[in-house]
Amino acid sequence: MPPVRPKIPTGFDHLDWIVTDDGSRTLWDRSLKESYHSGCGAVAESLVVYLSNSGVLKRLQQGLSTSVLEVGLGTCTTLLLTATLAARYQTPLDYWAVEDRLLPPELIRQLDLPRHIDGVLSENACRLPDDHCVSDSDFALLDTVLESLLRGWHADIRPDGEATSAQHQSEVERELLHIGSSISPGDHRHHSVIDLQLSDEVRLHLIAADITQLKWERLETGPSSHLLGQLDAVFYDAFSPEATPQLWSQPLLSEMYRLLRAGGTLTTYCVKSHVRKTLTGLGFDAQRLPGPVGGKREVLLAVKPD
């Protein structure tokens, strides 16, 4: 019998809390009937499935400047973990993230991420494959990075969800964000870019938009075409293919392939055979790896060949 994890109303929309097995919290989306992380541990999952399997943790530890795209920023758990490790190892990190429903900062604050991430880093570190232990305490650093994030969040987003004029749009962002006419009036989702310096080392480029509406083809010919083939890793953390099939389509995954450099990685918790087939069809070398302790048996690593 899978463990019963009680769902506690957050007071926001259709979202409940779940306390996961490593003590960290995640969210449950009542309308989609999906959680933001596996119940085995939100932080542990981020650490194993994204940081470790992608090779990003190793790069940060080796001081190699790194660029990542996270699809589905959600609670900011993976962002905060990656940004804090980059700051700890003093390694430059360019973090791109796409999210079409930014969570209210109060909700992110209630997740108490610094405390939980710090706990998992201290206790759980050596469960990582390879020997990339991350066992120091980083509480102060976590807190600082989260505060930079939430301050920027407050400054750049009005309560109605629209970005203010403080937002900065670089060339690439303007190109990607030619959203088109599919946005109906009164749609409160955000369609903007928030560019934030989270620490000396970490820059966040948050594309607040529906990823399926981005104009990828404009990157090809525009002044930002140099970005193609540059990313070190894609953290593909969309809801499941059953809940959001459009996020697992061949055309969208092919854009991820084009963004990655040779040797770059796409990691995800999803090992569905049709997803693996699509990735292999695009040219990725896809392999299943063991999942985090107590969680999914297998997760996926897809590497763009050299």
Ligand X SMILES: C[S@@+](CC[C@H](N)C(=O)[O-])C[C@H]1O[C@@H](n2cnc3c(N)ncnc32)[C@H](O)[C@@H]1O
The residues that touch ligand X, with contacts defined as CB under 6 A, are 36, 46, 72-75, 77-78, 98-101, 210-212, 237-239, 244, 247
**What is d(CA 193, CA 189) in angstroms, rounded to the nearest whole number?**
13
Strand 202-208 to strand 93-98: parallel, antiparallel, or no bridges (unpaired)? parallel
Complex with ligand X: residue 8 or 226, whichever CB lies closer: 8
Complex with ligand X: residue 251 or 305, whichever CB lies closer: 251
Closest approach of Cβ 77 to ligand X, in Å? 4
Angle at 12 (CA atoms; ends 9, 13), nearest 5 degrees: 100
Q: Are 115 and 139 in contact (CB under 8 A)?
A: yes
Closest approach of Cβ 306 to ligand X, in Å? 28
| Helices 113-124 and 139-156, axial angle in degrees (round to 10) | 150
Closest approach of Cβ 113 to ligand X, in Å? 10
Closest approach of Cβ 103 to ligand X, in Å? 7
Complex with ligand X: residue 285 or 298, whichever CB lies closer: 298
Distances (CA, A) of 57 to 65, 82, 89, 99, 131: 11, 8, 10, 23, 11
Contacts of 211 (CB under 8 A, 6+ apart): 71, 98, 100, 247, 252
SS3 207: strand
Complex with ligand X: residue 131 or 184, whichever CB lies closer: 184
Q: Fill in the DSSP letter of residue 17.
A: E
**What is d(CA 299, CA 295) in angstroms, rounded to the nearest whole number?**
10
Complex with ligand X: residue 46 or 265, whichever CB lies closer: 46
Closest approach of Cβ 52 to ligand X, in Å? 15
Q: How far apart are the first and last CA of the chain?
A: 44
Complex with ligand X: residue 122 or 244, whichever CB lies closer: 244
Buried b (16+ CB within 10 A) or exposed e, 250-281: eebbbbbbebbeeebbbbbbbbeeebbebbee
Complex with ligand X: residue 98 or 198, whichever CB lies closer: 98
Closest approach of Cβ 288 to ligand X, in Å? 19
Closest approach of Cβ 64 to ligand X, in Å? 23
Q: Count CB atoms within 10 A of the CB of residue 246.
A: 12
